[in-house]
């Protein structure tokens, strides 16, 4: 998120030590810790209030699903993994093989067309 590596953290610590001094730095660090705990508490209470407001239909709602990265992974990548692991052809009544609905199309192959669905 902030891309803080160990050397960057050490440089920030030295700058903070120079600016605030060795006597004030522990107080400032404890105040920053309290502020982070308060922010987490506020965020947790907001999540709980939202869950209560949504009602019992959304008890299994996961707030991580709102993150676009996890949304794409959950809804697209899981289907892709299932398509890759599924067999690509199944026999039909006429003895012809057709692809399953979740499998990928071969290059140049046209997708199936359903008149009733359009």
49 pLDDT more than 80: yes
Q: Which tokens sit at 35?
A: 């502020």
pLDDT-derived band at 60 (thresholds 50, 70, 90) equals confident
- The verdict on pTM exceeding 0.85 is no
DSSP string, 37-80: HHHHHHHHHHHHHHHHHH-GGGTT--GGGGSHHHHHIIIIIHHH
Q: Indicate the range of 9-23, 43-57, 72-86, 95-109 predicted with least confidence.
A: 95-109
Long-range contacts of 45-48 (CB under 8 A, 24+ apart): none
74 pLDDT more than 60: yes
pLDDT at residue 103 in the model: 61
- Cα–Cα distance between 5 and 13 in angstroms, integer? 12
More confident residue, 80 or 62: 62
Torsion over CA: 38, 41, 43, 46 (sign): negative
42 pLDDT more than 90: yes
How many alpha carbons lie under 13 Å from residue 76 in its C-beta half-sphere?
Answer: 6
Instruction: Judge contact between 104 and 83, C-beta under 8 A.
Output: yes
pLDDT at residue 53 in the model: 86
């Amino acid at each position: 998120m902030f891309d803080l590596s160990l050397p960057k953290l050490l440089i920030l610590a030295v700058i903070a030590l120079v600016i605030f001094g060795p006597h004030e730095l522990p107080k400032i660090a404890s105040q920053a810790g309290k502020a982070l705990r308060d922010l987490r508490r506020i965020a947790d209470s907001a999540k709980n209030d939202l869950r209560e407001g949504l009602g019992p239909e959304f008890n299994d709602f996961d707030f991580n699903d709102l993150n676009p990265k996890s949304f794409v992974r959950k809804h697209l990548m899981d289907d892709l993994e299932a398509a890759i692991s599924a067999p690509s052809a199944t026999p039909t009544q006429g003895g012809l093989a057709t692809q399953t609905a979740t499998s990928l199309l071969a290059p140049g192959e046209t997708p199936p067309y359903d008149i009733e669905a359009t």
